[in-house]
Structure 1
Amino acid sequence: MSGSLLDAGALIGCPHGGRASTATTPAAAVLVDGRAAATAAHSYVVTGCPHTVDGVPSPCVAVRWSADGTGVTVDGAPVLLDTSAAQCLSAAFVPQGPPVVQDAQRKVTVR
């Protein structure tokens, strides 16, 4: 799998317009343009999701990333790419679609 490396400042949203951000501070073991490289070990929370199901609010609250097979790791955790598999989840852990990576670090690519 190839793609652009995500860093702690990447703009990521849920498919309904909410904003995803890191809930944990990424370790600064690897910096990309002054920001920590994002890994599958970091937690992401979603805020501002307006999603409803049959008129009942069911917002995305978290993003769960799947480790990819690039073999590139930081502190033993796979790095996240703009092409990494992920799902936005409701509070009941119901998958609600993949996150939308709006801006990724284009200076570093993994092939």
Structure 2
Amino acid sequence: MSGSLLDAGAVIGCPHGGRVMPATTPTGGTRIAGAAVATAAHAYVVTGCPHIVDRVPSPCVSVRWTADDVGVTVDGAAVLLDTCAAQCFTAAFVPQGPPVVQAAQRKVTVR
């Protein structure tokens, strides 16, 4: 799998405009321009999702990333690329769609 490596400063949103943020701060010795490399070991939450279904709020609250086939690890965890499969979920674990990674300056590309 190839793509751009995500770091703690990556701007990520849910498909409805909410903001995706690490619930656990990416830490460790591996950094890109001072920001910790994001890995599948970190949990991600969504804030500010305005999604409504049949007049009932149904916001995205979490994101699950699938980074098993990346082939690059940091501290034993697969790194996250802007091309990794991911899914946003409601509190009831209903899939809401993939997160949107904002185009940013590509610092490191994995091929």
| TM interval, short-chain normalised | over 0.9
Instruction: Letter of the 2:72 partner, please give it.
Output: V
Q: Does 1:18 align with 2:18?
A: yes
**Cα gap change, 1:66 to 1:105, in 2 (>3 Å):** farther
**Cα gap change, 1:105 to 1:32, in 2 (>3 Å):** farther
Between the aligned partners of 2:104 and 2:78, the Cα distance in structure 1 is 16
Aligned to 2:46: 46
Instruction: Letter of the 1:99 partner, please give it.
Output: P
TM-score, normalised by the number of residues in structure 1? 0.96
* Structure 2 unmatched runs, 5+: none
Pairs within 5 Å for 1:67-86: 67-86=67-86
Which 4+ runs in 1 deviate beyond 2 A? none
Q: CA deviation at 1:105?
A: 5.3
Between the aligned partners of 2:62 and 2:2, the Cα distance in structure 1 is 24
Are the aligned partners of 1:24 and 1:42 in contact in 2 as well (CA < 8 Å)?
Answer: yes
Percent identity of paired positions between Structure 1 and Structure 2: 77
Q: How many residues align?
A: 111
TM-score, normalised by the number of residues in structure 2? 0.96
Pairs within 5 Å for 1:1-111: 1-104=1-104, 106-111=106-111
**Cα gap change, 1:105 to 1:64, in 2 (>3 Å):** farther
Instruction: Letter of the 1:29 partner, please give it.
Output: G
Between the aligned partners of 1:97 and 1:2, the Cα distance in structure 2 is 21
Instruction: Letter of the 1:7 partner, please give it.
Output: D
Between the aligned partners of 1:70 and 1:52, the Cα distance in structure 2 is 34
Between the aligned partners of 1:103 and 1:77, the Cα distance in structure 2 is 24
| RMSD across aligned positions (CA) | 1.0
